[in-house]
Amino acid sequence: MSLFDDDFYSTRVSRRTRFENRAGKQVSFGRKSGRGWTSTRIALTSSVASSLAAMLVFGLITGFHPGGSQTTAASPAIHTSVQSGDPLEKTISAAAKVRPAVVSIINEQAVSTGTDAGSDSAKAGDGSGLQEAALGSGFIFEKVKGKALIITNNHVIADAVAVKAVLSNGETRDAKIIGSDAITDLAVLEIDDKGIDTVVSFGESDNLRAGQWVMAIGNPLGLSDSLSMGIVSKTKRIIPVSLSQDGVYDWEQEVIQIDASINQGNSGGPLIDLDGNVVGINSMKVAEYGVEGVGFAIPSHIAMPIIQSLLEYGKVKRPYLGVYTMDLDQYLAQQAAGAKGGTNPSGDAATGDKGSTDGTTGDKSDSSGSGDGTAASGDDLVPPHGDLKLPDDVHQGVIVLQATGPADEAGLKFNDIIVKLDKQPISSTMDLRKYLYGKKQIGDDIEVTFYRDGKKETTSFTLGEKKDD
């Protein structure tokens, strides 16, 4: 998703009794009497009182009691109390709690090695090898049955032939992908848990407050075990996302906006509070020139149900409508541009919006390889053509490029324009996804209103579950 030290201190002020000489008057100590204390007596008395006070404080700290045995339990308790109240120490302890569980993720992909037969990565006999294609971060959140489970981003491990995890001590281990989800950009890996003692704990991300201090840990720019710190800029930010990385926004993600530095390689690492609890998964930043301090993390309370589904099924089960679509308003804009002597309207549509085709079919694969389609690749889809014959007041909806599964069985066809789902107006692929994923379940019935050859029609059918390719 390519969209996309402060000074702390604490002081302890002791109470002092201040005595002032006002108008040249001498302050006397002790009982009233006709006989005043001399300076010598005052100095002697103060000296004795100071000695007794010092002995008392020393005894409290060390546990020493005259005539008795020493007690050592009090000393650590006092030390801990002082440290826990120091914000600077709190950041250090929070980082120390999580850092051993943070790993670097290496995405290896097949590349041609050409004549470089001596390459360490070369595969024997086939002239190809594996090469590091992407770097990211992750963190260990659970140990079970001899395996350590790791959370990271889907885009960190996308298209990987092999994945490796580098532990905080520098050791590299082979990782297996348990499951991944392109929609939420989350993935779960597993490695052998030998020698791994630390797993993270999760905090309540929905209790975060704007201005709260947080820390990001990860592998930015390949610099492993790196920390950055900042505040929560906004606890809930909805941002548009292009799932296929083609510039067409076809999903929205709820994120935590932070001003801690998030750079390439930080993706998949933990965002923690000052108690050392994970409250988010660092995911993206705004990649615009001149933009600083705008990063995003997936809230842990949103991520954890997805993680559980990935652990149980290896994927996230979602209702399956069965249409690959293109936004009507964009097609009309391209057609208008073509009529004015611009680019071929159908040509741009064929390689543009089809790449962000409707994820309700299971995120149709496209030329950028961001999906997991069930039929042909995005390049095989035919763009809309001919007169769509729409009423003059219809300018929004989604054009069916291909119908499969339940939609095909219900009779939806190429060039149909869907305008409503269950009476809910649908203006874009994003609207269609949001309605299906947010309001419907596998096995629910759905009513689809669409236009075909200028006539409004309605059909109803049961939503299915996308099957593995």
Give the three-state DSSP class for 210: coil
With residue 431 as reference, give the H or E element that holds it. Answer: helix 429-439
Measured distance CA(270)–CA(228) in Å, rounded: 11
Of 395, 280, 393, give the one whose Cα is nearest residue 329: 395
Residues with Cβ within 8 Å of 137's Cβ and at least 6 positions away in sequence, in order, are: 102, 103, 104, 105, 152, 156, 217, 218, 219, 265, 266, 267, 268, 269, 282
Of the residues 205, 226, 242, 267, only one is catalytic, namely 267
Of 215, 258, 257, give the one whose Cα is nearest residue 236: 257
C-alpha separations of 284 from 44, 200, 227 in Å: 70, 21, 16
Of the residues 137, 155, 244, 431, only one is catalytic, namely 155
Q: What are phi and psi of 24, to 5 degrees?
A: 75, 10
Of the residues 104, 137, 181, 185, only one is catalytic, namely 185
Verify whether residue 79 is a known catalytic residue.
no
Cβ(99)–Cβ(224) below 8 Å:
no
Verify whether residue 120 is a known catalytic residue.
no
Cβ(258)–Cβ(214) below 8 Å:
yes
Of 430, 290, 415, give the one whose Cα is nearest residue 357: 430
The catalytic residue positions are 155, 185, 267
